[in-house]
Each structure stands twice: as C-alpha cells, then as structure tokens.
Structure 1
Amino acid sequence: MAPAPTVPVDTRTLEVPGARLHYEVRGAGPLVVLVGAPMDAVAFAPLADLLAADHTVLTTDPRGINRSSVDDPDGDSTPAMRADDLSRLIAHLDAGPAVVLGSSGGAVSALALVEAHPEQVRTVIAHEPPLDELLDDREQVRAQTDDLIATYLAGDVLGAWRMFFAQAGIELPDGAVEHMFGGERDPQVVADERFWFAHEMRATVRWVPDVSALRSAPTRVVVGIGEDSAGQSCDRTSRALAAELGIEPTLFPGDHTGFADGPEKFAVRLREVLREH
C-alpha cells in the first residue's frame, strides 16, 4: 500500500512579548486556527491535514511548550497571554477573521481571544474548556487542583497524575498511569509537563469568562463536548458555560481528546458545525 500523501507544512517562528512562538501553516482558503493548552501543534497535525484541503490551517505550540520558548521559564502562562499570542499570529498571517477551534486549555485561550479581539474571530468553538470556577463545587475543585499541583512539584509524578485523572472523572485501566508516566521519558515531554503543572494549569482552570462580553460579541460562540465525555469534569464545565451563554452545547465525536483520537470523524463533524451558520 502506498503511503498516505502528506500535506505541505510551512513552519515558522514569530517573536511576541516574552516568547518565540513556533507555528505551522497548511493549505489555502479561509483561516482555521487549531489550538490547545498544553497540547502543541503535533497533537492537531492529523486534523490540520484533513482541513487543509479547503482551509488555511494554523497550528502552534503554546508559549513555554515544546518549540515555543519563553524568556522567563519560571513565569506563568495565562489565558490572556495566550490570547494575545493568538491575536498576533492571526494579524501576522493577515488572513482573518478566523474560525478558532480551541480544545481543553486551548478553548480557554480561544474564549479569552474573543473577549479581547472579537473582530478577529468569526466563529469560536470552545471544545471542553476546563472552567472550574463555573461549577457549584468550585471550592472543592480548587482545593483538589492545589493539592495535585503541590504533589507534582514535590516529586510524586505518578501520584499527581492519579489525582488529576480522578478529579477529571477519567477512568483508566489498572497500570495505565505507570505505563504513560513512569520509567524513562522524553526530556521535552517532562519539561512541558512540569511547565503545565507549575505555570499553566492553575491560571487556566481559574479563568472566569466575561459572559456579557461573549454574548454581545459579533463572534459565533459554540461550546463543544465529546459524545463520550459524559460525567467527566470538562463535560460539567462545558455545560455550565453553555448554560451561562444561553446556548445548547454541540456534540463532537470521541471524548476530551476526540480531535486527536479520531480526527477523520472529528473533521466531518466540524465541517457540519461550520455549515450550520
């Protein structure tokens, strides 16, 4: 069998305040931005390849992650900072207004972008944003987050990940945490993981959206939830956001990482959602 054709990728770097952003551009047509946090451009590459058939697709490593270096590795990465980074990338490409699909922490970045620069975003799809402050039990969740971050920084990596998945409501098979996060690991993966725990997670999950600004923006706001995410923390936070905005959540294939686990089905659903408006 012949190998699948590869989509040409234009890899570049953009200097922004305090960081150098690695970003990639594929295809031609209306601009679609795919963004995560802490997920990098690699996680979105299969979906980007599919969308590049009829879109210009921008992917990027968030500041402090993988190939996007920061001047101060001990500084925090906040949703406002990452929103400003996205704004500068879109302006640099001069191809907006864009469709922005953000997943997990990237959904928080995307919502912050709409609040700050609604003119740059035609449609935002916030796929499972971990907005813990919208939950009724936010004080308990806040304490759990502080505990798991402290556990990680104290050196108990496996313990912190077990706490993370328990809080997220994600059930894993026995031994999965040890398999994924134990033994010899890639140094870059470990560095990205530490940056996320130490400098990105807390600011992301405690970001509070300006619901009035989102509702009054010219941007179409879609809240996406994985069909298989029922009962998970990000299902709860996403439904809470949708309720605040007065809209129904939109279901996508898979769970929290459906865009990466099943990019073909995800791309089909994404195109359907974009055609609905």
Structure 2
Amino acid sequence: MTAPTTGNLRVNGASLHYEVRGEGPPLLLIPGGTGGASSFDDVADTLAADYTVVTYDPRGMSRSPLDDPEAEQRVAEHADDALRILDLLSPGERARVLGVSSGAIVSLHLLTAHPGRIERVVAHEPPVVEVLPDAADHRALIARVRETFHAQGTMPAMAVFAAGLKREGDTDEPKAEITLPPQAVARAERTMANLPYFVGRIVPSFMSYAPDLDRLRALSDRLVLAGGQDSRGELPYRPAAYLAERFGTELVHFPGGHIGLTTHPAEFAELLRKAFRG
C-alpha cells in the first residue's frame, strides 16, 4: 500500500484530515457511514495510477474533529467541505467524484450546487429516501432510530436502523459470511468509535435530505447512479434505482452489496474507471 501525503484543512466549525495519492486528473472519494479516508485505502491505491486521488475523514469522523461536538450536521455543509478540499488541492479543475452511501448524498448536493467544479459523479447507493413513493414509511424509521438512540443508546438504535434497511421479505436467518480484507478488519476499532456520531447525527439529518430533482435531471449526463449487485431491493439501493428510472439513465451495478468497495476493491476500482470514462 502506498503511503499517502496527508494534511489538515480548516473549515467552518471543523478541521478536516485529508490524504492524497497519485498523479493525474483529480478524483475525490467521499466516504459514507462510519468510514473515513481509510475506508478507501484498497481502491485509492489502485486508482492512483490514473488519478490524483483525494480521500478525507468527513467532519466529526475519526481525525476530523468538530469545534462543537454537539453541532447539528447538514448535507449542504458537508458538500461545502468537499468543495473546499477541491479548491485547495485542484483549484480551477473539474473533478471526478465517487460518493458512497451517506457520502453519495453529499456528492449529489455537490453536483447540484457546484456543477462547474464537477466532471462526473458516481453516486453508489445514496439513501435519499425522500424521493421514494413510500417516503413516509422511512420518515417513521428515522424517527424510531432517533428515539431509540436517545432512550437506549447506540447499539439498540443501530439494530433498529439495520432492520429498516433490509429488503422486503428478508428474514433474520444467518446469511453467508462476508470475508473482509485484513485492512478492513484493522479499521473496525475506528468504525466503532464513530457509531454514536453516525447514528445520532448523520442518519437523522442525511436521510431526511431531499435532493433537487429538477437540477439533478438537468445534470444527469454527469451523474452515474449505482447500486450493488447483491443489494437489490434493500433500502439504500432503491433511491438510486428509482432515480435512474425517472431520469431515463442506466443504473450501473457494482460488485458486492452496499459495502462492495470493501469486499471487492479490485473489481470495484476497475468498474469505477469505466464509469468515469463514460
């Protein structure tokens, strides 16, 4: 694994840890869930042969502390953070962007708010549930997660959240075990430390976000909506499928499920290259 160049960028209310690898056109990778820059280590090394790959810990995660740990989180502010990183590391250049999960929500806002800075966005399973016909059901899920978090704590809230993400008809029967690379296992401690912030701040705010659909449609020639081959029907998959159908564009399937970039990094990186080539 190539050691990246690291730095810190001061933004409104936070300090962002970022990492840079390779040379070439700028490629910004926006993590989701409880992940940070390190969640992209396996794909970033591969992509650095073709791009200047920039990864970072979103505000409040891992090595990007908030000035006010209790501050409310907003998608627009996280997208502004991404823009600030691009302005620092690739001023004036249009960037390619991959966003995964909650990071994919950020990438959608970044595209609609600052299209002049974006060459192409791949949004992998953005859980923008407000676009779905059954959005009211998912608002109720978010409310249950929030109430459980405040009443019982992180792990019970995560259990409620995870149950709400399953595809219709799924049972609690054990599924085939996923074998993670050693690097992913080593990241588990940091991931666990980020859980309270994720379930308490990111989930309620980000999953209540409603994208500008007219703006996205107008920019759909620069937007690749993506889902995991193994996550068809699960909640994070459904908005990407719905938007692709609504915009008349292809839904691109990446290997694995919602965390395919972790379980299938080489295949994920190769398909990502193709997506950016159009």
Residue matched to 1:112: 109
Displacement after TM superposition at 1:34 (Å): 0.8
1:214 aligns with 2:216: yes
Deviations, residues 36-90 of structure 1 (Å, cap 9, x unaligned): 2332111111110110112100000000001001111111221101110000100
Displacement after TM superposition at 1:173 (Å): 5.8
Residue matched to 2:96: 99
Residue matched to 2:264: 262
Equivalent residues of 2:79, 2:106 under 8 A apart: yes
Matched positions, count: 262
Identity %: 37
Displacement after TM superposition at 1:240 (Å): 1.6
Distance 2:160 2:142 in 1: 9
What is the root-mean-square deviation of aligned Cα atoms in Å?
A: 2.1
Distance 1:189 1:268 in 2: 26
Q: How does 1:91-240 map to 2 (within 5 A)?
A: 91-94=87-90, 96-169=93-166, 186=189, 189-217=191-219, 220-240=222-242
Helix, strand or coil at the partner of 2:152: coil
Equivalent residues of 2:20, 2:53 under 8 A apart: yes
Distance 1:207 1:242 in 2: 18
Distance 2:247 2:5 in 1: 37
Distance 2:268 2:10 in 1: 32
Residue matched to 2:4: 9
Judged with a 3 Å threshold, the aligned counterparts in structure 2 of structure 1 residues 155 and 126 are, in CA distance, closer, same or farther, namely same
Equivalent residues of 1:118, 1:218 under 8 A apart: no
Distance 1:173 1:160 in 2: 20
Equivalent residues of 2:13, 2:66 under 8 A apart: yes
Displacement after TM superposition at 1:243 (Å): 2.6
Residue matched to 1:81: 77
2:249 partner letter: I
Displacement after TM superposition at 1:203 (Å): 1.4
Distance 2:220 2:246 in 1: 17
1:74 partner letter: E
Distance 2:87 2:247 in 1: 27
2:118 partner letter: V
Residue matched to 2:254: 252
Q: For structure 1, which segment, 232-241 or 79-88, has the greater mean C-alpha deviation from structure 2 after superposition?
A: 232-241
Corresponding residue to 1:32 among 20, 27, 31: 27
What stretches of structure 1 of length at least 5 have no aligned partner?
1-5, 177-184
TM-score by length of 1: 0.88
Displacement after TM superposition at 1:94 (Å): 2.1
Judged with a 3 Å threshold, the aligned counterparts in structure 2 of structure 1 residues 115 and 175 are, in CA distance, closer, same or farther, namely closer
Equivalent residues of 2:101, 2:127 under 8 A apart: yes
Equivalent residues of 2:154, 2:196 under 8 A apart: no
Helix, strand or coil at the partner of 1:233: coil
Displacement after TM superposition at 1:135 (Å): 1.5
